[in-house]
Amino acid sequence: MAVDNAFDNAVKGVRYLVHVASTMAIPSDDLEATLFIPTLHTTVSILKSASEESCVKKVVITS
């Protein structure tokens, strides 16, 4: 889901977006690579999709 434009269709026609999910880490000694970076990329992808949809008025991120 960290792919560019992955959420474009999901945000079409949406006024309010609530992002409540987070990437689940697989057991690893490298949490940056398995948790933090994928979570960051997914969140940025969602925000980019929302910013390109004119009807999105508010975004809430809880995770």
The domain tally of the chain equals 1
pLDDT classification of 2: cutoffs 50, 70, 90: low
DSSP, residue by residue, 1-61: --STTTTHHHHTT-SEEEE---PPPPS-S-HIIIIIHHHHHHHHHHHHHHHT-TT--EEEE
In a domain, 54, yes or no: yes
In a domain, 3, yes or no: no
Q: Provide the residue range defining the domain that includes 42.
A: 8-61
Using one digit for the tens of pLDDT, what is the confidence trace for 4-30? 889 999 999 999 999 998 877 778 899
In a domain, 25, yes or no: yes
Taking residues 23-46, report their average pLDDT: 87
